[in-house]
Amino acid sequence: MTQDELKKLAAESALAYIKRDMTVGIGTGSTVNHFIAALVRMKHDIGMTVASSIQTEQQLKQHGIEFTALNNVGTVDIYIDGADEANTHHYLIKGLGGALTREKVIASAAKQFICIIDQSKKVDVLGNLSPVPVEVIPMARSYVAREIVKMGADPVYREGIQTDNGNQILDVHNLKITDPVIMEKMLNNIPGVVENGIFAKRPADVIIMATPEGIRTI
């Protein structure tokens, strides 16, 4: 199976968690796009959706699925999103698609967070495959980058990208993430950081991982 077929398998398996009248938070990325395509079958049964990015809003529009702002619903019953890395503690790295801040807000507001991945995203130690994206306000970018260098890591400015919140992204390579909960806090304590892509304070509740042998639920 190709990686995209595995993403589709994971995404379609998440439909089993969606119940009648639920408010469904929707992440961002290619795995989530498969989920949106599958959700069309249930679009008259669910209550409402909340999108984590403008890209996802566009996908929902294309599929005729209604969405609203998080402010209008307060909480969501379930949040479905992909990840760039996931470990067995359900900690994640997210944000290669640039939507990490809105994703983390909706995940935090959600009663249940289901993460959908193909097996290539599973790691023992976070940071082995993916850099950690850090969203910064534009005027703080080089200050934040220097603070991250002091932590022994290598921030790289993601040039030409503006987030949906009008901010910029530093992709942080070679960060030693021995304790994801502490590292998530440390990065967010740097003035000018809006949010970072370590999801440890609000980990996933369930990880649906697609493998060539079928679905593994972690």
Cα 75 from Cα 57, distance rounded (Å): 18
User: Counting Cβ atoms within 10 Å, is residue 157 exposed (0-12), middle (13-18) or buried (19+)?
Assistant: middle
103 is catalytic: yes
The catalytic residue among 12, 57, 85, 103 is 103
Residues 44-83 within binding reach of ligand 5RP (CB under 6 A): 81-83
> Is the Cβ of residue 46 or residue 80 nearer to ligand 5RP in the bound state?
80
Contact with ligand 5RP (CB under 6 A): which of 25, 97, 180, 192? Answer: 97
Which listed range, 89-97, 139-147, 183-191, 210-218, lies at the site for ligand 5RP (CB under 6 A)? Answer: 89-97
Is residue 101 at the binding interface for ligand 5RP, with CB under 6 A as the rule? no
Is residue 127 at the binding interface for ligand 5RP, with CB under 6 A as the rule? no
198, 187 Cβ separation under 8 angstroms: yes
Q: Strand order of the sheet with strand 198-199?
A: 85-86, 92-93, 198-199
Q: How near is the Cβ of 95 to ligand 5RP at its closest, in Å? A: 5
Is residue 30 at the binding interface for ligand 5RP, with CB under 6 A as the rule? yes
CA distances from 67 to 21, 26, 52 (A): 13, 10, 11
Type of residue numbered 185: K
Q: Which two tokens stand for residue 207?
A: 């990880």
Residues that bind ligand 5RP (CB under 6 A): 27-31, 81-84, 94-100, 103
